[in-house]
Structure 1
Amino acid sequence: MRKMVKASVKVDVEKVEIREFERPSIPSAAALLRVESAGVGGSDPELYRKPNHAPIIMGHENVGTIDEIGAEAQARWKVKVGDRVALHEYLPCWNCEWCLKGDFRLCMEVDFFNVKDRLNTLRFGMSSCNIAPHLWGGYAEYMYMPINTVMHKIPADMPASHATLAVPFGNGVQWAVRDGGAGPGKTVLVFGPGQQGLGCVLAAKEAGSKTVILAGLTRDRSRLDLALRLGADFAINVEEDDLKKRVMEITLGRGVDVVVDTTSDPSGEIAQSSIAMSAKGATLSLNGLGQSVSIGEIKRRYLTIRAPRGRSYQAAETALGYIGSGKYPIDEVCSHNYGLHQVDTAIKASAGKLIADAVHVTVDPWLQE
């Protein structure tokens, strides 16, 4: 009899159930990962609410140990059984213009702005578990890793929950520094104290930014306090303080050099206020779909505007270095951990429901409940 693998499967809108799948045979060009920890990503609550996107095994911030590996995969990846790795969610083609440039996050095979059938396109944490060999997400005991998997080898002593931050903190490095230009002498404003926002704060300060400001809401009080321990110079509750007034006081009327919006604000208010608080020549990374901005104001202030779109390999590698440095209270960031039978709670806690003060929530498939 073949061994079975347990997984938490999204079967409907905000509904999961435990299912079992056969442990797959591993060909030469693949591997099997024993999942140690899977982070609940910032996009997971939205995916959990999404209709007509099931059945899937969610979980795209994944860390684990190589349990079985084929000869071709071992030769290509330079890893072996027993090695620990952190994964990207992307499964790129490695042959297109973007992959050859080293920007696999924009590969047409993984760019979900161009994929019509997301359920049946392979990407960790988002693909139908009806597609053999079924184990495409981290909320499971094991994951199947095809030859186009993107991974980072991690130290033997790095806590698995910490390593799941490679994705959201890698986003912070990409959005604030590599795309946004945060660095020596710069003043940086970050909207949203979630895991990506905290990653932006840490990355901007590590890059040498002079002043880092984080904006959040009253319900974010504990995260705003945590941001100060991760390098933020100011953490502002916009429901208690006039953000523009405070920013202009802090910058002596000049405005900020870099803005990163991690909130996906659909109203357009953040886009408009970002421009109003920007210094000439600033770079704005605006996340909300459907926002609109004045080209005239962009021209007048000589702004660069772009949108955050995942992360590069180097951004995640840089983030892992920060995470493992011992300089930061990463245990406080990794605030809650749940087992497979509590995936519903884990996702909702990450969205600010059921559990107070959750920051980065993880799922441990082997946790005894």
Structure 2
Amino acid sequence: MSTTTENAATTAATTIPTTMRAVVVHAPGDYRLETRPVPTPGPGELLLRTDAVGICASDLKCYHGAAKFWGDDNRPAWAETNRIPGHEFVGTIVAGDDDTLTKRKVTLGDRIACEQIVPCWECKYCLEGAYWMCNVHDMFGFKGYDGAMAEYVLVPAKALTHPVSSALPGQVAAFAEPLSCAFHAVERGDIKFGDTVVIAGAGPIGLSAIAGARQKNPLRIIALDVVEAKLDLARKVGADITINIAEDDAVARVKELTDGYGADVYIEATGHPSAVPQGLNLLRKLGTFVEYSVFKDNVSVDWSIISDDKELDVRGAHLGPHTWPAAIKLLETETLPMSEICTHQFPLEQFQEALDLVGDSAGASVKVSIIPALHA
């Protein structure tokens, strides 16, 4: 029988159960739906009822055991077992003490989104203001804190939160995470009005980067992909030109469009090794390459293109610092075709089907989400 959570926190009028359904990581390729206790928020913490959680390409790579997450001879492991995955989420506040609610300027029943990283606020990077590069690097769903592939999720005191309209469908509100990440990649590109910007990939991050670049209003935005339906969607979110790289030579086409020079800015959002040399070759001299993807495999390129040939500015981009309010604002304007971007929603019971769909590159999905309130 369900009972109200017993603690010093203020709780919502609705009854909070003592147990919940949650996806739990046991090992790469071994995720299971289990019953877990509902977390009890302590001082500075909030309890959310999960409205939606998106499945990211990094979730899938972690599931398949990529070294980026599980470690190898070249890097330490930072993904954890016995952890609830899910870092792209929004939820409704159902419990939290008065001081925490006041500090975060929220009330019970409000919807918030959480940034995926939970900074320590004490390391060199945090103290310098670069919290997104925190040396501890705890992150919802991977390390340090459980994520939101569950009916409830605990928001620790150190987490960063942002209000989101409850009028948005949950899967749309949760898209604030990939959208904010792509906005950061766009910021790293230092896009100017006269620029030709090429964005590789028309998946969730690529489409978000196109939408963000459109806000910068460069001369032209060119989207690259191999799926025509995704290129159609790229045009709807702001691409001026699309190129199907399975049918056309992207390097030749971009140079043709730019009087033989090449693009000013290239944003890599596919995670496919071939997209890296593609970008190096289609950029003009003194161009800017922005890398956002998480790669499953190592990438080899001719580094002399970066130095001797073109003197390129190569920049990484990580997470979505300082871009969440802008991303949420764009979603709340309802100007993006989100019903075509958020293509599939699943209940928790079908988490495996959801993961498999994200991994089907030839499938019709764009953004796949889990909605705990749904039932199979």
Provide the TM-score with structure 1 as the length reference.
0.87
Q: For residues 44-101 of structure 1, what are the alpha-carbon distances to aligned partners after superposition, in whole Å with 9 as ceiling and x for unaligned?
A: 1101111865332111101011110123422332222111111111110123342244
1:17 corresponding residue in structure 2: 32
TM-fit CA distance, 1:166? 1.3
2:141 corresponding residue in structure 1: 125
3-state secondary structure, aligned to 1:298: coil
The aligned amino acid for 1:170 is S
1:272 corresponding residue in structure 2: 277
**1:54 partnered with 2:81:** yes
Q: Distance in 1 between matches of 2:156 and 2:82?
A: 20
Q: Distance in 2 between matches of 1:225 and 1:296?
A: 32
The aligned amino acid for 1:83 is D
TM-fit CA distance, 1:328? 1.6
TM-fit CA distance, 1:296? 5.7
**1:304 partnered with 2:313:** yes
**1:69 partnered with 2:96:** yes
Q: Distance in 1 between matches of 2:37 and 2:31?
A: 19
Indicate if the aligned counterparts of 1:15 and 1:344 stay in contact, CA closer than 8 A. no
Task: Map 1:134-153 to 2 at 5 A.
Answer: 136-153=146-163
2:10 corresponding residue in structure 1: none
TM-fit CA distance, 1:300? 4.0
Task: Map 1:318-357 to 2 at 5 A.
Answer: 318-352=326-360, 356-357=363-364
Q: Which stretch shifts more, 8-17 or 202-211?
A: 8-17
The aligned amino acid for 1:207 is K
Q: Which runs of 4+ in 1 moved over 6 A?
A: none
1:119 corresponding residue in structure 2: none
Q: Provide the aligned length of Structure 1 versus Structure 2.
A: 345
3-state secondary structure, aligned to 1:94: coil
Identity fraction in percent? 27
Indicate if the aligned counterparts of 2:349 and 2:375 stay in contact, CA closer than 8 A. no
**1:108 partnered with 2:168:** no
**1:28 partnered with 2:43:** yes
The aligned amino acid for 1:159 is P
3-state secondary structure, aligned to 2:202: coil
2:168 corresponding residue in structure 1: 158
Q: Distance in 1 between matches of 2:323 and 2:203?
A: 18
Indicate if the aligned counterparts of 2:250 and 2:282 stay in contact, CA closer than 8 A. no
3-state secondary structure, aligned to 1:174: helix
2:375 corresponding residue in structure 1: 368
1:245 corresponding residue in structure 2: 252
Q: Distance in 2 between matches of 1:296 and 1:222?
A: 33
Unaligned runs of 5+ in 2: 4-17, 71-79
Q: Distance in 1 between matches of 2:120 and 2:129?
A: 12
Indicate if the aligned counterparts of 2:170 and 2:371 stay in contact, CA closer than 8 A. no
3-state secondary structure, aligned to 2:343: strand
Task: Map 1:191-206 to 2 at 5 A.
Answer: 191-206=200-215
The aligned amino acid for 2:103 is R
The aligned amino acid for 1:148 is K
3-state secondary structure, aligned to 1:348: helix
1:315 corresponding residue in structure 2: 323
Indicate if the aligned counterparts of 1:183 and 1:204 stay in contact, CA closer than 8 A. no
**1:167 partnered with 2:182:** no
Q: Distance in 2 between matches of 1:92 and 1:85?
A: 18
Q: Which stretch shifts more, 67-76 or 188-197?
A: 67-76
TM-fit CA distance, 1:13? 3.1
Q: Distance in 2 between matches of 1:81 and 1:23?
A: 17
The aligned amino acid for 1:279 is R
Q: Which stretch shifts more, 238-247 or 50-59?
A: 50-59
Q: Distance in 2 between matches of 1:239 and 1:46?
A: 24
The aligned amino acid for 1:325 is T
1:115 corresponding residue in structure 2: none
Q: For residues 284-329 of structure 1, what are the alpha-carbon distances to aligned partners after superposition, in whole Å with 9 as ceiling and x for unaligned?
A: 01345544442464344232101222220x2122111222222221
The aligned amino acid for 1:106 is M
Unaligned runs of 5+ in 1: 111-121, 129-134
The aligned amino acid for 2:335 is K
Q: Distance in 1 between matches of 2:176 and 2:35?
A: 28
Provide the TM-score with structure 2 as the length reference.
0.86
3-state secondary structure, aligned to 2:307: helix
TM-fit CA distance, 1:164? 1.2
Indicate if the aligned counterparts of 1:28 and 1:71 stay in contact, CA closer than 8 A. no
Indicate if the aligned counterparts of 1:7 and 1:57 stay in contact, CA closer than 8 A. yes
TM-fit CA distance, 1:210? 1.5
